[in-house]
């Protein structure tokens, strides 16, 4: 057994990031400035996006998108229950109604057939979440949206550097929000990015910084003017140059990070494929998975213990895990406001009851991976149900 606890998903920060942050701290700009602009440009190029807007979170990207689109009271936005609350909270915050629909049983992404059934005269947009780093079925979702003249918003908090049909997530015309939280594939500690058409992002940029017509860098740089106009009631969502300093180097290292994630996934798949007690993640043929998460599902009736006990057994073996996610319709606010029951969304609810995420990050050593495999295998074998002889 391990002597030290294996954390679920720590960041991997190198000397290059530290040096870049120090360089920023010694410069004239520590808030939004030249390094933020550089990070935006390099991120847009990486994602093959028309433009990018650096923000302080993925949540800010989603909220800013809804505000820029003018979605609000009386509108409906169709989305998934298998996501973090932020994806749905922003719909509430603009005064619109989130309409939760069930997910596909294999990928756990939003089910396009359920989206089609949920469209009403009040529907303004579909907010698709790329769960665990596996892209949603965007062709089907886009077709439905186009036929009903709906906007599509992509929550790509898990999805860098994922691709769909050989195109990077974030490269299309849909506003797409990324997360750079501490646990993500690319981190700036806290932070996010919004990609999309350049004209849309220019409107979003105004909303993201108090509704001001001119940001601080443009006002205080040499030759700048102190004058500005507030043209809309905006938010305070800008990224700082300190955060961008981390992001510049994390983006450079992303291919190596991703290679390591794929190696760990390969080891997990090889080790667990014969364990009948586990259902492993799937990868469809037309996607490149970002492998932000490696969620396994316990096979119903194959074990004498449930998900929570399985997690505790792994914790006793010093292996950290998490659960992604508690479905939105189970949380008290949404449950009570909309009168929802767990089985109103049966696929999401069933999978939640038996899902857990194993450690997956580029800091993991070969011994760390071996320890996770050994612990999962041991728990599954110790607690498997013995089949009666025929």
| Residue 8 to residue 91: CA distance in whole angstroms | 30
What percent of the chain is helix, strand and coil (3-state, nearest 5)? 40, 15, 40
Strands 97-100 and 294-298: unpaired
* CA-to-CA separations, 177 to 24, 159, 254, 273, 288, in angstroms, rounded: 25, 9, 18, 34, 18
Strands 151-155 and 123-129: parallel
Residue 222 CB-density burial (10 A; 0-12 exposed, 13-18 middle, 19+ buried): exposed
Count Cα atoms within 13 angstroms, Cβ side, for 97. 13
Pairs from 378-384 (Cβ < 8 Å, separation ≥ 24): 378/317, 379/310, 379/313, 379/314, 379/317, 380/275, 380/277, 380/278, 380/303, 382/313, 383/303, 383/304, 383/305, 383/309, 383/310, 383/313, 384/276, 384/277, 384/302, 384/303, 384/304
User: DSSP of 150-181, one letter per residue?
Assistant: -EEEEE-TT-TT-EETTEETT-SSS-EEEE--
Pairs from 227-236 (Cβ < 8 Å, separation ≥ 24): 231/206, 232/206, 232/207, 234/206, 234/207, 234/208, 234/209, 234/210, 235/60, 235/63, 235/64, 235/67, 235/207, 235/208, 235/209, 235/210, 236/209, 236/210
Q: Name the catalytic one among 35, 97, 184, 222.
A: 184
| Residue 51 to residue 195: CA distance in whole angstroms | 6
For residue 188, what is the DSSP state? -
Q: Is 253 a catalytic residue?
A: no
Name the residue among 357, 365, 333 with its Cα closest to residue 158: 357
Any idea which residues carry the catalytic annotation? 184
């Amino acid at each position: 057994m391990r002597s030290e606890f294996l954390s679920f998903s720590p960041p991997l920060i190198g000397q290059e990031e530290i040096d870049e942050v120090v360089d920023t701290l010694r410069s004239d700009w520590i808030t939004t400035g030249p390094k933020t602009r550089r990070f935006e440009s390099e991120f847009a190029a990486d994602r093959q996006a028309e433009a990018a807007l650096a923000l302080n979170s993925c949540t800010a990207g989603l909220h800013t998108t809804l505000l820029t689109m003018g979605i609000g009271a009386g509108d409906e936005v169709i989305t998934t229950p298998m996501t973090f609350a932020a994806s749905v909270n922003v719909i509430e915050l603009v005064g619109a109604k989130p309409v939760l629909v069930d997910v596909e049983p294999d990928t756990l992404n939003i089910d396009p057939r359920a989206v089609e059934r949920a469209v009403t005269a009040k529907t303004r947009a579909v907010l698709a979440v790329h769960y665990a780093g596996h892209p949603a079925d965007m062709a089907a979702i886009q077709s439905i949206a186009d036929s009903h003249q709906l906007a599509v918003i992509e929550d790509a908090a898990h999805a860098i550097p994922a691709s769909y049909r050989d195109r990077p997530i974030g490269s299309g015309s849909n506003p797409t929000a990324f997360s750079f939280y501490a646990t993500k594939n690319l981190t700036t500690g806290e932070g996010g990015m919004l990609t999309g058409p350049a004209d849309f992002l220019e409107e979003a940029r105004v909303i993201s910084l108090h509704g001001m017509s001119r940001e601080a860098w443009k006002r205080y740089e040499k030759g700048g003017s102190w004058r500005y106009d507030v043209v809309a009631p905006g938010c305070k969502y800008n990224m700082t140059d300190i955060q961008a300093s981390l992001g510049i180097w994390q983006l450079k290292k992303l291919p190596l990070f991703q290679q390591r994630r794929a190696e760990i996934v390969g080891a997990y798949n090889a080790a667990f494929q014969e364990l009948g007690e586990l259902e492993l993640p799937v990868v469809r043929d037309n996607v490149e998975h970002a492998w932000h998460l490696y969620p396994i599902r316990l096979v119903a009736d194959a074990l004498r213990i449930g998900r929570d006990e399985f997690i505790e057994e792994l914790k006793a073996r010093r292996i950290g895990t998490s659960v992604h996610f508690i479905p939105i319709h189970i949380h008290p606010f949404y449950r009570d406001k909309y009168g929802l029951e767990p089985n109103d969304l049966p696929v999401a609810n069933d999978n939640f009851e038996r899902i857990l995420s194993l450690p997956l990050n580029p800091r993991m050593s070969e011994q760390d991976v071996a320890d996770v495999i050994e612990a999962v295998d041991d728990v599954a074998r110790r607690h498997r149900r013995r089949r009666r002889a025929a």
